């Protein structure tokens, strides 16, 4: 069995969907999703999407400056300018495709603020259901596009290279059992984040760094992997074994919530007296880490007790409900929170058109490293990155697809299938990553982790197995190695990367 298409998109999050919907209808697009179409980090996004909604150059400069400042100026300045300047067009496209952002009674967009933003510029939808509403609107219109086909429960295992080392598609495994190649003129990696590389994360647990693993195996350039963003305020539960942690949006702090330590004292003035709780995430997470260390505990609190419960319930319906189910009432109780893995700022290096270092291979969304985030992502810039760079990648493909001929490989030899359980290995990797490659890192811990990971990688490489579990584990360890080795190389602290020795 095999399939052929003009464009193969691996992943059905915002980046994959938006790229697909902007490909000319004369080209066939095949989207594969390793689970159901709605399983993605995009669906989980709460806060919203950052964008300046008019062409006022002062506002563009302000978004540009905030992005650079949050990224400790390690960002690619041209990419940041591209992101900011193309935001309005991308948002208009989203609205054209049916996305509804929240408005006031007069029809003006309601904007909010998050950490690192100098003013309110974040659009949201359904209060704190921004990702769900945006992604759902896009999946709902896929039926109206006969050129787009979606295959669910199908995981891409490896990318296929042609004679000239160009990408000609991917090997996939459908329904855990049917292995076959999909040949495409252009292939787009839209596989999202890396949450499952760590022991605890805000991500959907299907985020196993597959795009990075696959790209690394064909020697595509990977960049900025040491910059893993830890979200400061994931809901804390004592003695839980749940790896996925519920995120409490930063927009809550944008609306006035504060942080207090276990002694119920505000502390952000010690670390960032000016921006306090609305400092960028790297600063807030590192401050929380310090407070937890100093007070011998593993969490701090979000304080909303000075805020109106009714307002909080209306403005943050998803968070309110989840927090309530965990035994706390927003507006009345302190809410325990702690940082955990949230976002990969680096990834597969791309240019402004989404092209990677491998011909005919694109990367969009969180799997890509466009350079916009630098050493730490500015809040709500990632959904924006998905749409701005998804749009430019699709425009580029619309112009180039006719010049590419579909290629195939002569012979495919799938490896054997064994019923092995990789969960203990994954747990071990997560534990090492949490302990030594988390918010605070040192040389000794990084070297120890590297040696453990190399051993696991070596063992896995020697015993290939045609299962989803195997390839995910291989991608997890590959991604973990990329992060650890990049963290070892960068000896000086910057942004999300804090080295104490």
Ligand X SMILES: Cc1cc2nc3c(=O)[nH]c(=O)nc-3n(C[C@H](O)[C@H](O)[C@H](O)COP(=O)(O)OP(=O)(O)OC[C@H]3O[C@@H](n4cnc5c(N)ncnc54)[C@H](O)[C@@H]3O)c2cc1C
Q: Residues in the site for ligand X, rule: CB under 6 A?
A: 10-16, 32-35, 39-42, 44-49, 130-131, 155-156, 190-193, 202-203, 206-207, 210, 247, 343, 365-367, 380-383, 386
CA angle centred on 226, ends 221 and 228, rounded to 5°: 110
Nearer residue to ligand X within complex by CB, 191 or 407: 191
Provide, rounded to whole angstroms, the least separation between the CB of residue 50 and ligand X. 7
Provide, rounded to whole angstroms, the least separation between the CB of residue 493 and ligand X. 24
Q: How many CB atoms lie within 10 A of CB 124?
A: 27
Provide, rounded to whole angstroms, the least separation between the CB of residue 363 and ligand X. 9
What's the rounded Cα separation, in Å, for the pair 376 and 382? 11
Residue 159 pairs with which residues in a beta bridge? 170
Provide, rounded to whole angstroms, the least separation between the CB of residue 146 and ligand X. 21
SS3 track for 77-123: HHHHHHHHHCHHHHHHHHHHCCCCCCECCCCCECEECCCCCCCCCEE
Active site residues: 281
Q: How many CB atoms lie within 10 A of CB 60?
A: 17
* H or E element in which residue 368 lies: strand 368-369
Provide, rounded to whole angstroms, the least separation between the CB of residue 231 and ligand X. 8
Nearer residue to ligand X within complex by CB, 279 or 383: 383
Nearer residue to ligand X within complex by CB, 247 or 352: 247
3-state secondary structure of 416: coil
Nearer residue to ligand X within complex by CB, 12 or 261: 12
Nearer residue to ligand X within complex by CB, 41 or 449: 41
What's the rounded Cα separation, in Å, for the pair 449 and 171? 31
Residue 322 contacts residue 302 (beta carbons within 8 Å): no
What's the rounded Cα separation, in Å, for the pair 432 and 77? 34
Provide, rounded to whole angstroms, the least separation between the CB of residue 269 and ligand X. 26
3-state secondary structure of 42: helix
Nearer residue to ligand X within complex by CB, 112 or 449: 112
Backbone angles phi, psi at 412, to 5 degrees: -120, 130
What's the rounded Cα separation, in Å, for the pair 54 and 472? 42
Nearer residue to ligand X within complex by CB, 152 or 493: 152
What's the rounded Cα separation, in Å, for the pair 351 and 355? 6
Q: Which residues contact 215 (CB under 8 A, 6 or more apart)?
A: 159, 189, 222, 348, 356, 358, 361, 363, 367
Provide, rounded to whole angstroms, the least separation between the CB of residue 234 and ligand X. 9
């Amino acid at each position: 069995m095999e399939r052929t298409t003009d464009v193969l998109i691996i992943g059905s999050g915002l980046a994959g969907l938006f790229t697909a919907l902007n490909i000319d209808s004369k080209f066939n697009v095949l989207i594969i999703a390793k689970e159901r179409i709605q399983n993605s980090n995009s669906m989980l996004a709460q806060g919203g999407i950052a964008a300046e909604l008019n062409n006022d150059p002062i506002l563009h400069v302000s978004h540009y400056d905030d992005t650079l400042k949050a990224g400790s100026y390690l960002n690619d300045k041209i990419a940041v300018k591209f992101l900011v300047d193309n935001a309005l067009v991308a948002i208009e496209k989203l609205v054209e495709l049916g996305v509804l952002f929240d408005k006031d009674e007069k029809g003006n967009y309601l904007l909010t603020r998050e950490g690192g933003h100098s003013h309110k510029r974040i659009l949201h939808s359904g209060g704190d259901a921004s990702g769900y509403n945006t992604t759902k609107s896009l999946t709902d219109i896929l039926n109206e596009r006969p050129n787009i086909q979606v295959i669910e429960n199908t995981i891409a295992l490896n990318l296929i290279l042609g004679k000239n080392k160009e990408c000609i598609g991917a090997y996939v495994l459908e329904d855990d059992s049917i292995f076959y190649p999909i040949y495409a003129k252009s292939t787009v990696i839209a596989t999202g984040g890396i949450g499952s590389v760590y022991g605890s994360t805000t991500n959907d647990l299907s985020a196993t760094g597959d795009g990075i693993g696959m790209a690394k195996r064909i020697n595509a350039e990977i960049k900025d992997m040491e910059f893993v963003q830890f979200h400061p305020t994931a809901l804390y539960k004592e003695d839980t074994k749940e790896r996925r942690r519920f995120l409490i949006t930063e927009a809550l702090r944008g609306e006035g919530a504060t942080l207090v330590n276990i002694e119920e004292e505000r502390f952000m003035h010690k670390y960032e007296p000016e921006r306090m709780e609305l400092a960028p995430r790297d600063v807030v997470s590192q401050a929380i880490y310090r407070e937890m260390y100093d007070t011998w505990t593993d969490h701090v609190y979000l304080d909303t007790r000075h805020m109106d419960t009714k307002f909080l319930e209306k403005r943050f319906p998803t968070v309110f409900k989840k927090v309530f189910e965990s035994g706390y009432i927003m507006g009345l109780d302190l809410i325990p929170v702690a940082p955990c893995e949230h976002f990969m700022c680096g990834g597969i290096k791309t240019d402004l058109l989404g092209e990677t270092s491998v011909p005919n291979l694109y990367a969009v969304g969180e799997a890509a490293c466009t350079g916009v985030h630098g050493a730490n992502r500015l809040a709500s810039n990632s959904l924006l990155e998905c749409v701005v760079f998804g749009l430019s990648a699709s425009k580029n493909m619309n112009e180039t697809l006719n010049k590419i001929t579909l290629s195939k490989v002569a012979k495919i030899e799938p490896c054997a299938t064994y019923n092995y359980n990789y969960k203990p290995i994954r747990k071990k990797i997560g534990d090492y990553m949490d302990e030594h490659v988390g918010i605070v890192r040192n040389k000794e811990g990084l070297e120890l982790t590297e040696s453990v990971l190399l051993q696991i990688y070596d063992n896995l490489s020697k015993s290939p197995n045609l299962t989803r579990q195997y390839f995910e584990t291989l991608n997890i360890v590959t991604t973990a190695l990329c992060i650890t080795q990049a963290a070892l190389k960068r000896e000086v602290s910057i942004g999300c990367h804090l080295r104490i020795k």
